[in-house]
Amino acid sequence: MTVTSNRRTDPPRHRSGGAAHGNRGAPRDRRRRRGRRRGRGIRSALLVTLALLVLAAGGAGWLYLKLDGDISTFDSGGLSDHRPDAGSSKGENVLVIGSDTRTGGNNALGGGDKDDVGRSDTAFLLHVYADHRHAIAVSIPRDTLVTIPPCQLPDGTWTKARPDTMFNAAYSVGQTPKGNPACTQNTVEQLTGLRVDHTVVVDFKGFADLTDVVGGVKVCLPQDVYENDLDPHLTAPGKLLFHKGEQTVSGQRALDYVRIRHGIGDGSDIGRIKRQQAFVASLLKEVKSKGLTPTRLLPLADAATKSLTVDPGLGSADKLISFVMTLKDIDLHNTKFVTLPWRYEGSRVAIVQPDADALWAALRSDRTIDGENAGGKKTGNAGSGAAASPTPVSGAGIDVAVYNGTAVPGLAARAAAELTGDGFTVTGTATAAGQDHTTTLVEYGPGLEDRARTVARAFPGAELRPVTGSGISVVLGQTYADSPAPGASASPAAVPSEVADGARSADDNPCSNLTYG
């Protein structure tokens, strides 16, 4: 940062001829000299103060430059071309990925080979409500069976969709040590129907450094924890790592705490997720207690950015800190942690429907855990934030074929019934070649663009695409699947009670709900 000095050079003073007046001028000259000395003293103090301010500003500028140099971004070219509409949610959605990559010295903290493939150890989608006073973090179990959509490989080619695949496999697509954040983002967008505004990847080292900077984080354990609880391959308990009850951890000890899975609670990944939620809640409480100001944020940012990988939208210090500052008014009690509705399917985790879809619908409509409307104008997004009423469509004389581009059964029949009710002639329904479409597509042949636009009006947010074939077809996307069906209750979307009942607030006591282990 360049600092321009506005220091003024005063013109020389004109001395009066005191000697011509004899001794009568001496006291007045002495008073004038004393005044000048006082003036010089005041100016000196101001100059010292100014110098300190310049140094402080220069230091902040230097730190900003340093932060810029530390921030890594991933290639946005790996993001899907079929993303949810930017207006799919009035709030903002941030995907946070905890990576167990071993590069950059992380193997010293997490073990393993530094050239090993990067993996996603934990992930949650943070929804910041449009009122910027509420937030909810939805954890996605790493063993959840999902459809991983086409993702870009290091050589620029794209994979095919992979149904019934563990969620954390998306981060390893391409088999590189740094992982594939874009693929995980694509997977989350397809899973939720929500557009991810930002993605942040935090590795072992960044996590440990953060806890050091805040002076430690309070945690609570229901029992003593030994070395073999962290590493079940050990044949003996080993040394005591954590004693039972509340304690403060930082650095390596904090990392050990959130990684413990075996020998505590039920030993499951779900139990570890609950423990990680409690830890992040405690970390937020610690940060908020010290004040979310730029002065406090700079040291935190300095620690975090060394081991952060972010999307290009957060790829500079001012963007990153400006975004964090928009979160300063979120109340701890209004910051909730929940887990995607799940059930065991063998050794894997299956998504429970319709609870999961109801959760995503609640986030889209900015409904909180308690059913409160936390909507409002999204930053940089025109409009009142209220959902637009559908415009009546007349499809008389227009033929259209309907294809289900999702894994949701019965969707094509539902759309066909709606189109028929609007006067369209549906020539047939079928399953699309791929079931990984996020946004609904309206494809049309030569000379049919005007009619295709009429069809698109029946599917808000649909994209138009010209094709070489004849006729008009609709390929339904997840956004349509998540929209309410005709005749459905017009009551506001609500988080399912099973999800809400298991929520944790950021201001909860760390020793509450110790069943998470």
What are the C-alpha distances in Å from 80 to residues 188, 190, 209, 369, 436?
Answer: 11, 10, 33, 30, 11
What are the C-alpha distances in Å from 343 to residues 163, 184, 261, 275?
Answer: 18, 21, 18, 18
Compute the distance between CA of residue 265 and CA of residue 247 in angstroms, rounded to an integer.
18
- What pLDDT is recorded for position 103? 45
For residues 324, 330, 333, 339, the Cα torsion angle rounded to the nearest 10 degrees is -60
Strands 399-404 and 425-431: parallel
- What pLDDT is recorded for position 290? 74
Is the domain spanning 76-373+504-516 CATH 3.90.550.10? The answer is: no
H helices of 234-316, where?
251-259, 269-290, 294-305
Helices (H) then strands (E): counts for the chain = 14, 21
- What pLDDT is recorded for position 188? 95
CATH topology of domain 399-482: Alpha-Beta Plaits (3.30.70)
What residues form DSSP beta bridges with 310?
Answer: 73, 200
Strands 441-444 and 472-476: antiparallel
- Per the CB < 8 A criterion, the answer to whether 97 and 120 are in contact is yes
- Per the CB < 8 A criterion, the answer to whether 375 and 387 are in contact is no
What are the C-alpha distances in Å from 23 to residues 18, 20, 35, 122?
Answer: 8, 9, 19, 88
- What pLDDT is recorded for position 16? 39
Rg of the Cα trace of the chain?
Answer: 30
- What pLDDT is recorded for position 376? 64
Compute the distance between CA of residue 197 and CA of residue 181 in angstroms, rounded to an integer.
13
- Per the CB < 8 A criterion, the answer to whether 473 and 443 are in contact is yes
Per-residue pLDDT of the chain (517 residues; tens, 9 = 90+): 434 444 444 444 444 344 444 444 444 555 555 555 555 555 555 554 444 433 344 444 545 556 666 788 888 899 998 888 877 677 899 999 998 754 444 444 444 445 567 778 889 999 999 999 999 999 999 999 999 999 999 999 999 999 999 999 999 999 998 899 999 999 999 999 899 999 999 887 777 788 888 889 999 888 888 888 888 888 898 999 999 999 999 998 998 888 887 767 666 788 888 888 999 999 888 888 877 666 666 777 777 777 788 899 888 877 877 887 788 889 899 999 999 999 999 889 999 988 888 899 889 888 898 888 888 654 443 333 333 334 568 888 999 999 999 988 778 888 888 898 888 999 988 889 888 898 999 999 999 999 999 999 889 888 999 999 899 999 999 888 877 665 444 445 677 888 888 899 999 988 887 654 4
